[in-house]
Structure 1
């Protein structure tokens, strides 16, 4: 969506990796493009030094990565827009997370942080 609007590097201060089945070359030297299996890539990235991995994508990608996700940061807004957008699109396989933090903003926006519950 950003690319169609001319935005080629939305997080220039971060290492950016785009998982794509259709894009074969990067529109920006600061952005890596790969067709690698998302879960395999996630496991590799977790072995590297760094602060963490931030997933920006849709429900399909999140569903593929659900077993690898250690923390969820969910933003909620006081707005109803029809049926809504799923967080995860995957086979039914419950995963437990525990509340780690929450913050309510003056306008009613809410940010809730959950961490993966230990097995």
Structure 2
């Protein structure tokens, strides 16, 4: 069965974006970039990865899930951001499609039911790339966490699991790697 991995950058105080949705304080350069890319190849928009000379082939995921706000970060320049992956965007307005987004699947379907169906399909892993509200909705379906903890405090914004209410969930650490840049890659599996 396929697994759902929530792989995301997060601040020390648990935010994946600032109060206005900004994430530019997260480190985009440093000694953490190469090793994390090796582990999570294919988790950058296709055009950006190719421009940087990074291969998107043979990554751990073949499907990416996003909330509408996470998807909108790349607009209008990247309406088909992860061309190398199956892309699902959860939105209340699936008929509203940006030009150039024909390969992106917009859906108002129940995220939990959708993920359960995806897990039964053949393939590689499923990547939840954001946002926090979607992660809160899917918390009981998340099998693995891969957190790129950045050495910054945002003081508010979009929480790792959004405003959703959920029960305490135990996680087992499966790996931790600290880098001189200050970034820590912390990986967990559901207990």
TM norm structure 1: 0.88
Residue 16 of structure 1: aligned partner: 87
Divergent runs of 4+, >4 A: none
Q: Find out whether 1:34 has 2:34 as its counterpart.
A: no
Distance 1:37 1:61 in 2: 11
Whole-angstrom CA distance in 1 between matches of 2:91 and 2:134: 10
Q: Report if aligned partners of 1:76, 1:109 keep a CA contact under 8 Å in 2.
A: yes
Q: 2:106 & 2:158 partners in 1: Cα distance?
A: 25
Structure 1 position 58 matched with structure 2 position 131 = yes
Greater relative contact order: 1 or 2 (C-alpha under 8 angstroms, separation 6 or more)?
2
- Report deviation, 1:3: 4.6
SS at match of 2:125: coil
Question: 2:182 and 2:119 mapped to 1: Cα distance?
Answer: 34
Flag structure 1 segments of 5+ consecutive residues without an equivalent.
Answer: none
Given the two structures, how large is their TM-score scaled by the length of structure 2? 0.57
Cα 1:9–1:100, aligned 2, differ >3 Å: closer, same or farther? same
Query: What SS is found at the alignment partner of 1:75?
Result: strand
Q: Is residue 49 from structure 1 mapped to residue 106 from structure 2 by the alignment?
A: no
- Any idea what the Cα deviations from partners look like across 1:15-41, whole Å, max 9, x if unmatched? 111111023154312211111000000
Q: What secondary structure, in the 3-state scheme, does the structure 2 residue paired with 1:10 have?
A: coil
CA 1:25–1:5 in structure 2 vs 1: closer, same or farther (change >3 Å)? Answer: closer
Q: Aligned to 2:175, what secondary structure does the other structure show?
A: strand
Greater strand fraction, Structure 1 or Structure 2: 2
How much is the aligned-residue C-alpha RMSD, in angstroms? 1.6
